[in-house]
Chain A
Amino acid sequence: MGCFIDVRNVSKTFRVNKRAAGVAGMVANLVAPKYEKKQAVKDISFSIERGEMVGFIGPNGAGKSTTIKMLSGILYPDEGRLMVNGYIPYKQRKEYVGSIGVVFGQKSQLQWDLPVIDSFELLKAIYRVPEETYRKNLSRFTDMLDMESFLNQPVRQLSLGQRMRADIVAALLHSPEIVFFDEPTIGVDVVGKETIRDFIRELNEEDGVTMIFTTHDMQDIEKTCKRLIIIDEGSKVYDGSLFGIREKYGTTRQLDVEFGSPCQVEPINKVEIRKLDDLSGRRQRFTFENKEVQINELMNYLLAHYDVRDINISEPEIEGIIRKIYNGEAS
Chain B
Amino acid sequence: MFLKPYFAFAKKSFLGRSAYRFDHFMSILNTCLQIFIFWGIYQALYGGRSEVDGITMTMVSTSFILSMGLKAVFYVDDYFLPSKVWDGSIANEFLRPVSFRGRMLAENIGNAIFNVIFHFLPALLISVLLIGICPPESAGMTVCFLFSTILGYGVLWTISFAVQAAAFWAINIWSLATLKDVLINIFSGTMIPLWFMPEWIYEALKITPFPYIYFTPVQIYLGQLSYTEIAQQCMLQLIWILLIYLLGTLLFKKGQKKLVVQGG
Physical contact A–B (CB less than 8 Å) = yes
Mark interface residues in A17-36 (1 if CB within 8 Å of B CB, else 0): 00000110010000000000
Mark interface residues in B99-111 (1 if CB within 8 Å of A CB, else 0): 0000000000000
Query: Once the chains are docked, how many angstroms separate the CA of A102 from the CA of B22?
Result: 38
Instruction: Say how far B122's CB is from chain A's closest CB, in angstroms.
Output: 12
Query: Once the chains are docked, how many angstroms separate the CA of A23 from the CA of B25?
Result: 9
Residues of B within 8 A of A23 (CB): 21, 25
Instruction: Say how far A28's CB is from chain B's closest CB, in angstroms.
Output: 13
Chain A residue at minimum C-beta to C-beta distance from B25: A23
Chain A residue at minimum C-beta to C-beta distance from B24: A23
Residues of B within 8 A of A22 (CB): 21
Chain B residue at minimum C-beta to C-beta distance from A30: B22
For the side of the interface on B, what is the size category? under 10
Instruction: Say how far A19's CB is from chain B's closest CB, in angstroms.
Output: 10
Instruction: Say how far A29's CB is from chain B's closest CB, in angstroms.
Output: 10
Mark interface residues in B16-42 (1 if CB within 8 Å of A CB, else 0): 000001100100000000000000000
For the side of the interface on A, what is the size category? under 10
Mark interface residues in A147-160 (1 if CB within 8 Å of B CB, else 0): 00000000000000
Chain B residue at minimum C-beta to C-beta distance from A26: B22
Q: Across the A-B interface, how many residue pairs have beta carbons closer than 8 Å?
A: 5
Query: Once the chains are docked, how many angstroms separate the CA of A26 from the CA of B19?
Result: 12
Instruction: Say how far A113's CB is from chain B's closest CB, in angstroms.
Output: 16
Chain B residue at minimum C-beta to C-beta distance from A25: B21
Residues of A within 8 A of B25 (CB): 23
Residues of B within 8 A of A26 (CB): 21-22
Residues of A within 8 A of B21 (CB): 22-23, 26
Chain B residue at minimum C-beta to C-beta distance from A23: B21
Query: Once the chains are docked, how many angstroms separate the CA of A26 from the CA of B22?
Result: 8
Query: Once the chains are docked, how many angstroms separate the CA of A22 from the CA of B25?
Result: 12
Query: Once the chains are docked, how many angstroms separate the CA of A90 from the CA of B12?
Result: 48
Instruction: Say how far B206's CB is from chain A's closest CB, in angstroms.
Output: 44
Query: Once the chains are docked, how many angstroms separate the CA of A73 from the CA of B95?
Result: 51
Instruction: Say how far A23's CB is from chain B's closest CB, in angstroms.
Output: 6
Chain B residue at minimum C-beta to C-beta distance from A29: B22
Instruction: Say how far A85's CB is from chain B's closest CB, in angstroms.
Output: 45
Chain B residue at minimum C-beta to C-beta distance from A22: B21
Chain B residue at minimum C-beta to C-beta distance from A21: B21
Chain A residue at minimum C-beta to C-beta distance from B22: A26
Query: Once the chains are docked, how many angstroms separate the CA of A26 from the CA of B25?
Result: 11
Instruction: Say how far B16's CB is from chain A's closest CB, in angstroms.
Output: 16
* Interface members, chain B 95-149 (any A CB < 8 Å): none
Query: Once the chains are docked, how many angstroms separate the CA of A22 from the CA of B18?
Result: 10
Mark interface residues in A124-138 (1 if CB within 8 Å of B CB, else 0): 000000000000000
Residues of A within 8 A of B22 (CB): 26
Query: Once the chains are docked, how many angstroms separate the CA of A22 from the CA of B19?
Result: 9
Query: Once the chains are docked, how many angstroms separate the CA of A26 from the CA of B21?
Result: 9
Query: Once the chains are docked, how many angstroms separate the CA of A23 from the CA of B21?
Result: 7
Chain A residue at minimum C-beta to C-beta distance from B21: A23
Instruction: Say how far A135's CB is from chain B's closest CB, in angstroms.
Output: 40
Mark interface residues in B227-251 (1 if CB within 8 Å of A CB, else 0): 0000000000000000000000000
Query: Once the chains are docked, how many angstroms separate the CA of A116 from the CA of B211?
Result: 52
Query: Once the chains are docked, how many angstroms separate the CA of A230 from the CA of B70?
Result: 60
Query: Once the chains are docked, how many angstroms separate the CA of A304 from the CA of B22?
Result: 79
Query: Once the chains are docked, how many angstroms separate the CA of A22 from the CA of B22?
Result: 9
Query: Once the chains are docked, how many angstroms separate the CA of A291 from the CA of B102?
Result: 71
Instruction: Say how far A26's CB is from chain B's closest CB, in angstroms.
Output: 5
Instruction: Say how far B261's CB is from chain A's closest CB, in angstroms.
Output: 25
Query: Once the chains are docked, how many angstroms separate the CA of A26 from the CA of B24?
Result: 12
Instruction: Say how far A31's CB is from chain B's closest CB, in angstroms.
Output: 14
Instruction: Say how far B18's CB is from chain A's closest CB, in angstroms.
Output: 10
Instruction: Say how far A256's CB is from chain B's closest CB, in angstroms.
Output: 47
Instruction: Say how far A229's CB is from chain B's closest CB, in angstroms.
Output: 40
Instruction: Say how far B98's CB is from chain A's closest CB, in angstroms.
Output: 33
Query: Once the chains are docked, how many angstroms separate the CA of A322 from the CA of B22?
Result: 45
Instruction: Say how far B20's CB is from chain A's closest CB, in angstroms.
Output: 11
Instruction: Say how far A68's CB is from chain B's closest CB, in angstroms.
Output: 32
Instruction: Say how far B36's CB is from chain A's closest CB, in angstroms.
Output: 22
Query: Once the chains are docked, how many angstroms separate the CA of A23 from the CA of B23?
Result: 11
Query: Once the chains are docked, how many angstroms separate the CA of A22 from the CA of B20?
Result: 10
Query: Once the chains are docked, how many angstroms separate the CA of A190 from the CA of B199?
Result: 72
Query: Once the chains are docked, how many angstroms separate the CA of A242 from the CA of B7?
Result: 60
Query: Once the chains are docked, how many angstroms separate the CA of A178 from the CA of B21?
Result: 47
Query: Once the chains are docked, how many angstroms separate the CA of A22 from the CA of B24?
Result: 12
Query: Once the chains are docked, how many angstroms separate the CA of A108 from the CA of B25?
Result: 36
* Shortest Cβ-Cβ A-B pairs, 5 listed: A26-B22, A23-B21, A26-B21, A23-B25, A22-B21
Residues of A within 8 A of B (CB): 22-23, 26
5 A-B residue pairings within 8 Å (CB atoms): A22-B21, A23-B21, A23-B25, A26-B21, A26-B22
